[in-house]
Structure 1
Amino acid sequence: MKKILIAIASIAFASCGPELPEIKPDLITESTLHDTDDPAIWVNKNNTEESIVFGTDKDTDGAIYAFDLDGKIIEAKTLRGMKRPNNVDVAYNVKINDSVTTDILMFTEREREQIRLFSVPDMKPLDQGGFKVFQEKRENEWSLPMGISIYKSPKTNKTYAIVGRKNGPKTNYLHQFELVPAGDYIEFKLVREFGNFSGEKEIEAIAVDEELGYIYYADEKVCVRKYQAEPNVNNTELSCFGAETFNRDIEGIAIATYKNREGYIIVSDQQEHTFNFFDRKTNEFLFAKNLGTTETDGCEVYTGYLNEKFPNGLFVAMNDNKNFYFYDLSKIIDAK
Structure 2
Amino acid sequence: MKNYIYSCLILLLTLGSSCKTGSKLPKITPAVITEKTGYDSDDPAIWYNEKAPEKSIVFGTDKSSDGAVYAFDLSGKILPEKTLKNIRRPNNVDIAYKVRINDSTYSAVLAFTEREKRQIRLYSIPEMKPLDNGGFPVFSDETTVDFDLPMGIALYRPSNSEKLYAIVSRKQGPKSNYLYQYELTANQGVFQSKLVRKFGAFSGKKEIEAIVVDNELGHVYYSDEQHGIRKYYADPNKGSEELACFGGAHFEEDIEGIALIKTTDTQGYLIVSNQQKGEFNLFNRENNAFVKAVNLGTTATDGCDGYHRSMGPLFPNGIFVAMNDDKNFYFYDLATIIP
* TM-score, L = length of structure 1: 0.93
Take 2:31 and 2:155, find their aligned partners in 1: how far apart are those partners? 28
Which of 229, 253, 256 does residue 258 from structure 2 map onto? 253
Take 1:174 and 1:284, find their aligned partners in 2: how far apart are those partners? 25
Amino acid at match of 1:249: D
SS at match of 2:336: helix
Take 1:224 and 1:140, find their aligned partners in 2: how far apart are those partners? 26
Go from structure 1 to structure 2 and tell me whether the alpha carbon gap of 1:16 and 1:200 turns closer, same or farther (over 3 Å shift): closer
SS at match of 2:276: helix
Partner of 2:92: 87
Q: Per-residue displacement from partner, 1:149-181 (whole Å, max 9, x unpaired)?
A: 001012222111111111112111111111111
Q: Per-residue displacement from partner, 1:1-30 (whole Å, max 9, x unpaired)?
A: xxxxxxxxxxx9x98852200111011000
Amino acid at match of 1:128: N
8 Å CA contact retained: 2:20, 2:276: no
Partner of 1:218: 223
Measured after TM superposition, the shift of residue 92 of structure 1 is 1.1
Amino acid at match of 1:76: E
Take 2:266 and 2:108, find their aligned partners in 1: how far apart are those partners? 24
Take 1:285 and 1:184, find their aligned partners in 2: how far apart are those partners? 43
Structure 2: segments with no counterpart, 5+ residues: 1-16
Partner of 1:331: 336
Give the superposed CA RMSD.
1.6
Partner of 2:182: 177
SS at match of 1:271: coil
Amino acid at match of 1:288: A
Partner of 1:148: 153
Go from structure 1 to structure 2 and tell me whether the alpha carbon gap of 1:69 and 1:165 turns closer, same or farther (over 3 Å shift): same
Q: Per-residue displacement from partner, 1:261-310 (whole Å, max 9, x unpaired)?
A: 22110000001111000011110111100000000000000011111110
Amino acid at match of 1:229: A
Go from structure 1 to structure 2 and tell me whether the alpha carbon gap of 1:183 and 1:15 turns closer, same or farther (over 3 Å shift): closer
Amino acid at match of 1:203: I
Matched, 1:47 2:56: no
Take 1:206 and 1:220, find their aligned partners in 2: how far apart are those partners? 11
SS at match of 1:272: coil
Partner of 1:5: none
Take 2:20 and 2:289, find their aligned partners in 1: how far apart are those partners? 21
Matched, 1:167 2:168: no
8 Å CA contact retained: 2:184, 2:191: yes
Mapping 1:179-328, distance limit 5 Å? 179-259=184-264, 261-328=266-333
Take 2:24 and 2:108, find their aligned partners in 1: how far apart are those partners? 42
Larger Rg: 2
Amino acid at match of 1:252: G
Partner of 1:6: none
Take 1:222 and 1:45, find their aligned partners in 2: how far apart are those partners? 38
Take 1:84 and 1:33, find their aligned partners in 2: how far apart are those partners? 12
* TM-score, L = length of structure 2: 0.93
Q: Per-residue displacement from partner, 1:25-81 (whole Å, max 9, x unpaired)?
A: 011000000000000000011111111000000011100000000000000000000
8 Å CA contact retained: 1:140, 1:167: no
Go from structure 1 to structure 2 and tell me whether the alpha carbon gap of 1:80 and 1:15 turns closer, same or farther (over 3 Å shift): closer
Matched, 1:68 2:73: yes
SS at match of 1:330: helix
Partner of 2:10: none
SS at match of 1:161: strand
Take 2:123 and 2:149, find their aligned partners in 1: how far apart are those partners? 20
Which of 32, 36, 44 does residue 31 from structure 1 map onto? 36
Take 1:200 and 1:310, find their aligned partners in 2: how far apart are those partners? 38
Amino acid at match of 2:124: S
The percentage of counterpart residues that share the same residue type is 57
Structure 1: segments with no counterpart, 5+ residues: 1-11
Take 2:21 and 2:265, find their aligned partners in 1: how far apart are those partners? 33
Bigger mean CA deviation after superposition, 249-258 or 148-157: 148-157
Q: Per-residue displacement from partner, 1:205-235 (whole Å, max 9, x unpaired)?
A: 0000111110000000100000001111111
Q: Per-residue displacement from partner, 1:233-252 (whole Å, max 9, x unpaired)?
A: 11100000001000000000
Bigger mean CA deviation after superposition, 263-272 or 177-186: 177-186
SS at match of 1:235: coil
Take 2:22 and 2:231, find their aligned partners in 1: how far apart are those partners? 26
Please list every run of at least 4 consecutive aligned residues from structure 1 whose deviation after the TM superposition is greater than 3 angstroms.
14-17
